[in-house]
């Protein structure tokens, strides 16, 4: 017997536990050589293009349009036309049918989308398969349910659509962010021009095929690709009634300045520097899983990542030693391998940003730990990292790193935990780990964060509103609150 050894009456055990890869087949996906912009239900040949690649291998994947202001204008015109000639006047129950169809097609084609998401974005297939795709479909299902119940959601008001929504999304959850934006907009009777991030356009372009399958009327959703210049052209276009943006705080502020005085509506979902607070009565092994999920999920490219760990002093040594042991088991590598925990960093620029901040942490005096792991030679990679001995003033404790890098601080009392957790310019999310229910409520009342998770982390649900305070932006996405930015509510 080659790999299993029988020892008398004992159960067979493998003689060799070396790792065997479990790659997901990529032939379910067809990537075109060149893509245009999806405008008015047709593919518009782009005037300019750029090349999108796989961050795990640096393999060039496709030529994609770099939309000019004129092409953005054509998309806005198509959206206006669709808005005025049918979509906004369609009964909610009819709009709901299209959203249900989109949700079902996404479910049917989920493996194809998951593989493409991992190829173009670098995230592990187990995450795109088990998190991004199910949640994207769930958002369409959820908002399909609201489309014909808007008067019940907002009693004594007359809810009506806003008009044409310009939506700009980032690269960390490309299809999921698209779903967060498009589903409520359509449910409320708006039409859309969406710009995916420069580095991750492919699932948004494949989504156009879903729109065709669902027979969505032409012009209701238009997708233009390109870099920040395309986003800026969309923001500036006078035909857009509302901008929804997810991305960096700097760009969010620039958009807010640009829109001041124009009367256009705006929602901003920006960065974060969340505290994940572990009390000494917490179930420690579960908390360690929560810490790992909080910061290493999606390579830490998560606006609500638990990037600041606050540990009660009495359990500090024990927590760090368990965390290090757990980090040694994290598998970094091929995003399409079903065993991979940490995939590729999304782009060279992001890798440079992470590296620069990590260097600053070392220079400022923090102690770095990275488990032994072999990173692939090609592509963009960063080992899971934890910094101890971190002062609150260090850049790694203040700035959003947006990578697999955790900064650990300690506290003695609940008051101190609150003070340290709130010592940030951001206010998007936080986590609390304790066995005491009363302490969870006490903390949740004091933490200045849009979302507070208790004894869990990075949980998302379409029925739950998400959004921040202060430099994390304003407006809510998800839940009933997520309808409001897309509605005029007359008394
Ligand atoms: P950006 O804010 O630049 O990107 C977000 C989106 O905005 C992208 O589609 C981008 O296009 C577009 N954009 C860029 N400039 C403009 C502009 N002037 N007007 C309108 N749209 C614009 O984020 P980055 O990709 O540069 O990431 C930088 C940092 O931002 C990260 O390190 C992280 O800290 C933070 N971030 C936060 C996110 C969140 O979810 N809150 C998501 C992504 C990043 P393009 O892709 O071409 O740049």
pLDDT tens across 276-298, in order? Answer: 999 999 999 999 999 999 999 99
Known active-site residue 303:
yes
Nearest CA to ligand 1 atom 48: 228
Instruction: Locate the ligand 1 atom nearest the alpha carbon of residue 232 and give its number.
Output: 19
| Pocket of ligand 1 from Cβ distances under 6 Å | 168-172, 195, 197-198, 227-228, 231-232, 235, 246-248, 251, 254-255, 269-271, 303, 350, 353, 400, 402
**Ligand 1 binding pocket mutation candidate from 195, 248, 348 (most atoms within 8 A of CB):** 248
pLDDT attached to residue 390? 97
Active-site annotation holds for 269: yes
Q: What is the pLDDT of residues 443-479, one digit of tens each?
A: 999 999 999 999 999 999 999 999 999 999 999 999 9
State the distance from the centre of ligand 1 to the C-alpha of 49, rounded, in angstroms: 19
Which pLDDT score, from 0 to 100, does residue 381 have? 98
Q: What is the CATH number of domain 37-270+469-488?
A: 3.40.605.10
Listed by start position, the domains of the chain span 37-270+469-488, 272-454
Q: Residues of the chain whose pLDDT is less than 50? A: 1-4
Distance 216 CA to ligand 1 centre (A): 29
Distance between CA 295 and CA 386 in Å, rounded? Answer: 10
Measured in angstroms, how far is the CA atom of residue 455 from the centroid of ligand 1? Answer: 31
Rounded to the nearest angstrom, the distance between the alpha carbon of 252 and the centre of ligand 1 is: 8
The reply to whether domains 37-270+469-488 and 272-454 share a CATH topology is: no
Catalytic pick from 188, 208, 303, 304? Answer: 303
* 250 CA closest ligand 1 atom index: 2
Q: Select from 3.40.50.1970, 3.40.50.300, 3.40.309.10, 3.40.109.10 the CATH code of 272-454.
A: 3.40.309.10
Catalytic residue among 117, 269, 471, 477: 269
Residue whose structure tokens are 């518009």: 44
Q: How far is the CA of 170 from the centre of ligand 1 (A)?
A: 6
């Amino acid at each position: 017997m080659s790999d299993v050894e029988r020892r008398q009456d004992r159960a067979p055990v493998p003689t060799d536990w070396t790792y065997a890869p479990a790659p997901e087949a990529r032939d379910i996906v067809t990537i075109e050589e060149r893509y245009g912009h999806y405008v008015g239900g047709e593919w518009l040949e782009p005037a300019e293009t750029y090349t999108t690649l796989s961050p795990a291998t640096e393999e060039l994947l496709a030529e994609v349009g770099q939309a000019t202001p004129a092409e953005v204008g054509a998309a806005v015109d198509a959206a206006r036309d669709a808005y005025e000639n049918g979509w906004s006047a369609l009964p909610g129950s009819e709009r709901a049918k299209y959203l249900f169809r989109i949700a079902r097609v996404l479910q049917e084609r989920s493996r194809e989308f998951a593989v493409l998401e991992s190829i173009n974005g670098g995230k592990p297939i187990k995450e795109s398969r088990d998190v991004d795709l199910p949640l994207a479909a769930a958002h369409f299902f959820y908002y399909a349910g609201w489309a014909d119940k808007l008067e019940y959601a907002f009693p004594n008001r007359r809810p009506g659509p806003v008009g044409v929504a310009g939506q700009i999304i980032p690269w960390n959850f490309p299809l999921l962010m698209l779903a967060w934006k498009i589903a409520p907009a359509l449910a409320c009777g708006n039409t859309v021009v969406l710009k995916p991030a420069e580095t991750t356009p492919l699932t948004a372009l494949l989504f156009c095929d879903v729109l065709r399958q669902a027979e969505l009327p032409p012009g209701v959703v238009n997708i233009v690709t390109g870099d920040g210049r395309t986003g800026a052209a969309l923001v500036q276009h006078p035909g857009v009634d509302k901008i929804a943006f997810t991305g960096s705080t700097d760009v969010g502020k620039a958009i807010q300045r640009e829109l001041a005085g124009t009367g256009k509506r705006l929602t901003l979902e920006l960065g974060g520097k969340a505290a994940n607070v572990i009390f000494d009565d917490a179930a420690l092994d579960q908390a360690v899983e929560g810490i790992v999920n909080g910061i290493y999920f999606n390579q830490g490219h998560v606006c609500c990542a638990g990037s600041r760990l606050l540990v009660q002093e009495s359990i500090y040594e024990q927590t760090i030693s368990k965390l290090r042991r757990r980090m040694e088991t994290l598998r970094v590598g091929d995003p399409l391998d079903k065993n991979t925990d940490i995939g590729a960093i999304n782009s060279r620029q992001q890798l440079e940003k992470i590296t620069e901040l990590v260097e600053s942490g070392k220079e400022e005096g923090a102690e770095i730990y990275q488990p032994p792991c072999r990173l692939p030679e090609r592509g963009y990679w960063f080992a899971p990292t934890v910094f101890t001995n971190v002062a609150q003033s260090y850049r790694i404790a203040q700035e959003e790193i947006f990578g697999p890098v955790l900064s650990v601080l300690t506290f003695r009392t609940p008051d101190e935990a609150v003070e340290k957790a709130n010592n940030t310019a951001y206010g998007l999310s936080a986590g609390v780990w304790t066995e005491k229910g009363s302490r969870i409520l006490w903390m949740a009342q004091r933490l200045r964060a849009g979302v507070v998770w208790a004894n869990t982390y990075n949980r998302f649900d379409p029925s739950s509103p998400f959004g921040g305070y202060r430099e994390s932006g304003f407006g809510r996405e998800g839940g009933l609150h997520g309808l409001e930015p897309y509605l005029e509510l007359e008394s």
